A and B are shown apart, each in its own frame.
Chain A
Amino acid sequence: MVSVPGPHATYLNPILERHGHAAASLLQILREAQEHFGYVHPDALDYLSAQLRLPRARIEGVAGFYSFICLQPHGEYRVLFSDNITDRMLGSQTLMEQMCQQLWVEPGKASEDGLVSIGATSCTGMCDQGPAMLVNGRAVTHLSHQRVQEIAHLIRNRTPLDDWPGDFFRVEDNIRRKGLLLDSTLAPGDVLRAALAPGAADIVAAITASGLRGRGGAGFPTGLKWEACRLAQGAEHYVVCNADEGEPGTFKDRVLLTSHADLVFEGMTLCALAIGARKGFLYLRGEYRYLLEPLQAVLQRRRENNLLGACILGQPGFDFDIAIHLGAGAYICGEESALIESLEGKRGVPRSRPPFPVTHGYLQQPTAVDNVEIFCQAALAIHMGADNYRAIGTPKSSGSKLISVSGDCPRPGIYEYPFGVSVREVLKDCGAANTRAVQISGPSGVCVAESEFGRKLCFEDLPTAGAFMVFDDSRDLFEVARNFVHFFAHESCGFCTPCRVGTSMLKQTMDKIAAGHGTRYDLAEIEHLDQVLQTSSHCGLGRTACNPVLHTLRHFRPAYENRLKSLDFEPAFDLDGALARARQMTGRDDAGAHLKPEET
């Protein structure tokens, strides 16, 4: 049977043209195809398979990996509520129920008339202005009963998104405290002009001398990374800016890309000069789709000003340009090797390392992958001079750090501090009161309790990628941990068994405890699972997936114990309830038709 590509060819051809029919652009092609048609139609898959000369299974495999790519119709309006704990604390679950009722849909299913589907998605990075949601990929903030009602009305009337009140889509920066980065008044090109004369080796030496370390979590020395990449042999070198920002509770990269995009691109160009790259990528998480056009405008302006393109600033041989790749809803693509796989148009599965991206990255060529903030900090360090930069912060953590504050405090938003600030100081500045705990660096980070509020944010003590979620004494830390465990189970890429199975088992155990079926034995099982995850997972996701439970167990054990039955063992489900259906069907109610709890 020959499928008729007719209607699909018309919109797919221009997309394929734009991407040069390159298999490496598969994810971008799928994204754009979907924006056009609402979902990726089976016939469109066949057509792409023929045009890209890729097996259909490969295309479906990629499409199926990313939660924002749909292979089935999901309604003209696809609503996804952000499901971070901070959204929940602001009432997102009630709002979602309300919307489902008003639009007559069940969560996760498209309505029968094909109008709308409503579901949940991992943190969308709007924690300081939640509850938030995505509608057809566009972020809506500050949800309230009023706003949800208005949205239900707009959807029922099939109002195009462009005609919705602009207010709904407003995303604020909420910058609360500035430091050397957010205060910077550098004009585009300032840093590059200063760096041109000294040249590549000197830039790397200065970055090394500045003591700059990664801002994406691991804190790897940036100078070392750039030096290794500069010296690595390869036909091409690549710069990749990691703007996947998937760690729940983190949103500082969003603010940098909104208000300091020039500095980000300046830093990427500086890196290109340092490592000898001619091409760079910004990997932008799908949740920040709305930033695509503004960022492209900045890139275009920089091209016009000779800050990108051929012979940058008139320097022969200094050629560099940046392309933006959009992610499609997969937290794991923040891991650098998974990100590179995704850039190559594949499923975002972490690679085996070594070899590391600095020698074998994008298309197996030397690649420097860094967090958004690093490119800004690197530009500043070069501008200020290594010694001046190093004087800020603590001995092993130089410079400043952007902190994304959310949760129980009156002033959530972005706070910039020199490294070494204490948890207590941040709490004071954001006005938090009666704080019970703070989750530092997101679910994969550390949960600190009051006794530890004197600890400092820096690589010597509490390393952080930036998230700072505040929980006051009205919060149940068990539920916080359970939300995080669900997050990991959902985001596990499924490549290795310990994590694929382990995160699901962890989720089931937490749900069992939440349902009142938990025992001490289950707590011991959690500790056992943690060992398996930590020692045998392929990447950092699996290795950190138990952290939320272990940390809250350490500090808030009673929150768990209160829920336990004080037995050694408790069934995982209601045994007698499990016979109800059969009782109903057979009309029986005799003693044999019931299961009594065991006498202990």
Chain B
Amino acid sequence: MSRKLRIATTSLAGCFGCHMSLLDIDERLLALLELVEFDRSPITDIKHCGPCDIGLIEGGICNAENVHVLREFRTHCKILIAIGSCAITGGLPAQRNHLDLASCLTEVYLTEPGLAHGHIPNDPELPLPLDKVHPLHEVVKIDYFIPGCPPSGDAIWKFLTDLIAGKTPELGHGLIKYD
């Protein structure tokens, strides 16, 4: 292979559990670094994504900033992968979807004592929440999905090495999990 592939990763409305799972490939991380270099990622602390081959995203879309980051990834990554239940279905954060956003905000900031001095934060610096949490594929086109909460390090390793080797990734028995 002539050049190293560039990978970017980020966590949107997720818990970083999927990133922890990525680290669970353990010493194979070194082997991975032989094949790829990291662009924007919590591993590098690069703030914006440049042209990349692969983007890995954990977490769903819960606010306007998530949309901007996801679009940035879609613009710059040739292959975009949704990793984990939150990215694929909305997951745990989507539990709020059956509640009305306004009553959530009221409950947290106005009814309950102690927060934000009785007003709903409205600083333009803060991203606004969407009325519902959405999976990634409802906002941009997603090329691959790695299911699990989180997927195991082995599954992520198999998926990435297949992809890097130019094979259609296949997670065989034992690697696909839905919880």
Contacts and interface: CB of A to CB of B under 8 A. Distances in A.
Contacts of A590: 124
A581 B124 contact: no
B176 interface: no
Instruction: Please tell me the size bucket of the interface on B.
Output: 20 to 34
B159 to A, nearest CB: 19
Interface in A541-600: 568-569, 571-573, 575, 578-588, 590, 592-593, 595, 598
Interface string A328-351: 000000000000000000000000
Given A568-B141, A573-B138, A578 B124 contact: no
A586 B132 contact: no
A290 to B, nearest CB: 38
A580 B71 contact: no
Contacts of B64: 579, 592-593, 595
Contacts, number: 62
B162 interface: no
Nearest to A517: B138
Contacts of B128: 579, 582-583, 586, 588, 592-593
A220 interface: no
Given A585-B102, A585-B105, A587-B122, A571 B139 contact: yes
A580 B141 CA distance: 24
A592 to B, nearest CB: 5
B134 A573 contact: yes
A115 B101 CA distance: 32
Interface string A114-128: 000000000000000
B120 A578 contact: no
Contacts of B127: 592
B160 to A, nearest CB: 23
B26 interface: no
Contacts of A164: none
Contacts of A575: 67, 130, 139
Contacts of A571: 138-140
A598 B71 contact: yes
B170 interface: no
Interface string B137-166: 111110000000000000000000000000
A281 B105 CA distance: 57
B118 interface: no
A592 B124 CA distance: 7
Nearest to B71: A598
A495 interface: no
Given A569-B140, A578-B131, A595 B124 contact: no
Contact of B101 (A568, A569, A582): A582
Given A586-B120, A593-B124, A595-B67, A581 B139 contact: no
A593 B106 CA distance: 19
A521 interface: yes
Interface in B86-130: 100-102, 105-106, 120-122, 124, 127-130
Interface in B71-91: 71
A581 B131 contact: yes
Contacts of B101: 581-582, 585
Contacts of A598: 71
Contact of A569 (B106, B129, B131, B141): B141
A595 B122 CA distance: 17
A582 B124 contact: no
Contacts of B129: 579, 582
Nearest to A584: B102
B131 A582 contact: yes
Contacts of B105: 582, 585
A590 B131 CA distance: 18
Contacts of B67: 575, 595
Nearest to A588: B122
B122 A572 contact: no
B71 A578 contact: no
Contacts of A521: 141
Interface in B29-59: none
Nearest to B110: A585
Contact of A586 (B122, B130, B131, B137): B122
Nearest to A577: B131
Nearest to A591: B124
Nearest to A587: B122
Contacts of B137: 572
10 contacts: A571-B139, A571-B140, A573-B138, A579-B64, A579-B128, A582-B130, A586-B128, A588-B128, A590-B124, A592-B128
Interface of B: 64, 67, 71, 100-102, 105-106, 120-122, 124, 127-132, 134, 137-141
Interface of A: 521, 568-569, 571-573, 575, 578-588, 590, 592-593, 595, 598
Given A579-B131, A582-B105, 16 more contacts: A521-B141, A569-B140, A571-B139, A572-B134, A572-B139, A575-B130, A575-B139, A578-B131, A581-B100, A582-B130, A586-B122, A588-B128, A592-B127, A593-B124, A595-B67, A598-B71
Query: What 9 pairs between A and B have smallest CB-CB spacing?
Result: A572-B138, A586-B122, A582-B128, A569-B141, A578-B130, A581-B131, A581-B101, A590-B124, A579-B128
